[in-house]
Each structure stands twice: as structure tokens, then as C-alpha cells.
Amino acid sequence: MLTPVVDDDGAPFWEYAARGELRIQACADCAELRFPPRPCCPHCRSFATEWRRVSGRGRIWSYVRPHPPLLPDYAEQAPYHVVLVELTDAPRIRLVGNLVSGPGARLDSVPAERIRIGARVQVVFTPTGLPQWLLERP
């Protein structure tokens, strides 16, 4: 499986995720949240940043089901769900992830008929610190 190729701006996200925390970059001056992480606030142009903990609750904004040809590790689990989750605490922040039946479960572990746009989801983390999403009402 592919692991994140982390850059300087994104590194804190992954360090927090490895500890089981979902944190989003915010401007330390004007408090605007931003994603993906970057060095300067597009709202007030401040370089002061902080990482704000969010509840990890959200709703599915959209989703796709990839089928092969895919990289072999992914093809073996296809078709699976890739979801775009809009965070409840921060409606303009949307995270790409997988909808699964439990932390570290296979990417195809949720039946296709269970997924819909607008469904409430909750973040969990794999043992390697990758955020994943569970349906609040499976």
C-alpha cells in the first residue's frame, strides 16, 4: 500500500495522526482553518500557525468506487470506497479517506449499499496512523 510522501507543511498532520489525533492547520493570528497545509495564511498572510484538534465527525460529501486497473495492492481490494468527508467542525475542510467497517479493515469492508452522500461518519486511525472513516450508523 502507498504511504504518504510527507512534505514539511504536512508533517505535523501525520505526526498528530500517528498519535490518534485529527488536527487541522489554523492561522495563529486570524484563526482561519486551512487545508492542505501550507506556510502562509491566504486570509491574513500571517506565517504563524497552530494545529487545532477537531472532533473527527463529518459527513460524506462525495465518494467513488475505483475498479482495476489499479496498483496491485489496491486492485486486490477493489472495488472499494474512497470518500470525501466534510468536517462537522469546519465545513470547508474536506478530507479524502476510506470508508471501512473498523480501524485497519479492508478497503472493501463496507457494503456498497450502505454508503450515501450526507451520511455521518467518525474518524478512526489505522495502526500506522492513517485516518479512516466509520459510518455513525452502520
Partner 1 sequence: MAVLKDATAIVGIGQTPFAKQLPESERALACRAILAALDDAGIAPDEVDALASYTMEETDEVEVAKALGLGDLTFFSKVGYGGGGSCATVAHLAAAIATGQATVGVAWRSRKRGSGPRPWKNTTVQLPTPAQWTRPYGLLRPADEIAMLARRHMHEYGTTRDHLFNVALACRNRANQNPAAIMYERPLTREMYMNSRWISEPLCLFDNCLETDGALACVVVSAERARDCRRTPVYVHSAAQGLPAQHHGMVNYWNDDPLTGPAWTAARHLWKHADLTPDDIDVAQIYDAFTALIPLSLEGYGFCARGEGGAFTEGGALETGGRLPLNTSGGGLSEAYVHGFNLINEGVRQLRGTSTAQVPDAATCLVTAGEGVPTSALLLRN
Binding site for partner 1 (CB under 8 A): 1-7, 10, 14, 35-36, 42, 61-67, 69-74, 77-80, 82, 84, 92-98, 107, 117, 130
Amino acid at 53: R
- Residue that is written with C-alpha cell 471501512 in the block: 100
Please, what is the minimum distance in Å from the beta carbon of residue 128 to partner 1? 9
Query: Could you tell me which residues come within 8 angstroms of residue 3 by beta carbon, excluding any fewer than 6 positions away?
Result: 128, 130
How far apart CA 21 and CA 129 sit, in angstroms, is 9
Burial class (CB in 10 A: 0-12, 13-18, 19+), 45: exposed
Please, what is the minimum distance in Å from the beta carbon of residue 101 to partner 1? 16
Please say which residue, 27 or 95, places its beta carbon nearer to partner 1: 95
Contact at 8 Å (CB) between 133 and 58? yes
Please, what is the minimum distance in Å from the beta carbon of residue 27 to partner 1? 14
